[in-house]
Chain A
Amino acid sequence: MSANLHLRVPNRIEELPGVSEAVEALGREEGWTQDVTYAIVLGLEEVATNVVRHGGSEPGSSEIEIEVTSSDDEVRIEVRDSGKAFDPFHEAPEPDLDAEVQDRQIGGLGVHFVKVLMDETSYSREGGRNHVSMVKRRS
């Protein structure tokens, strides 16, 4: 059995809470654990926020396409956008996790969450669009 969520939203930060709600609703239907739901909602927010902030398009001028497929073993998340080419897994800064409070920088933390919380991540540029793919296993 698998269930699917397919959304197209304008590239605006204000759209993202609605995406989170839709994903949480899918998680309730599919019986995801609290930790799996948190990881997926967080991963999607971090990737989509990067697209809005660093995609180079005026907010609201383009679309982010989101597809979430839940099966018995895993949840697959695909995010596509037509912003400038950007591989978050290799181009985002690495956070210095050992820095003291006063020296600690915040950049790159969102991508770091995605790398740690997801079981698989990949990026490709296809037909002028960025394609971020993430997989979270359910156990």
Chain B
Amino acid sequence: MNVQVDHHDKVLVARVEGRVDSSNSQDFERQLQGAIGEDVQAVVVDLGQLAYISSAGLRVVLLVAKTLGQRNVSISLCALSHPVQSVFEISGFNRIIQIYDTQADALAAAG
């Protein structure tokens, strides 16, 4: 698992690659929280290269969404593969976090 970060003005794009499970979710949390600076206005998490996520990883996404919500920073997800999309739907997270088909769509909405 790896988190790559790009900045598009005040929008931070975090691309998550690989697998997030109970064995590395703490590392995922550190990388994701560490990537989000003070001056960010919106965060787009690109899951296009995420092969697998379990409830341990969803917990991190929820924690980050809560932290950002308290700072009035928006968060959205994009480019989910079919099984990853299913997991977000089963958890109900698709109703509390915006999900876009592509990074371009997410950036357009965040900008």
Contacts and interface: CB of A to CB of B under 8 A. Distances in A.
Contact of A109 (B55, B95, B97): B55
A74 interface: no
Interface residues of A, number: 29
A76 interface: no
Interface stretch (A2-10, A12-20, A59-67): A12-20
A100 B69 CA distance: 11
Contacts, number: 75
A102 B69 contact: yes
B4 interface: no
A106 B69 contact: no
**Binding site of A, secondary structure by majority: helix, strand, loop or mixed?**
helix
B83 A113 contact: no
A26 interface: no
A101 B97 contact: yes
Interface of A: 13-14, 16-17, 20, 34-35, 38-39, 41-42, 45-46, 49, 95, 97-102, 104, 106, 109-110, 112-113, 116-117
Given A35-B82, A109-B59, A13 B22 contact: yes
Contacts of B70: 102
B65 A113 contact: no
A136 to B, nearest CB: 13
B23 A13 contact: yes
Given A35-B82, A106-B58, 18 more contacts: A13-B23, A17-B19, A34-B82, A35-B86, A38-B83, A42-B54, A42-B87, A45-B21, A49-B22, A97-B91, A97-B95, A98-B92, A100-B96, A102-B69, A106-B62, A110-B55, A112-B90, A113-B54
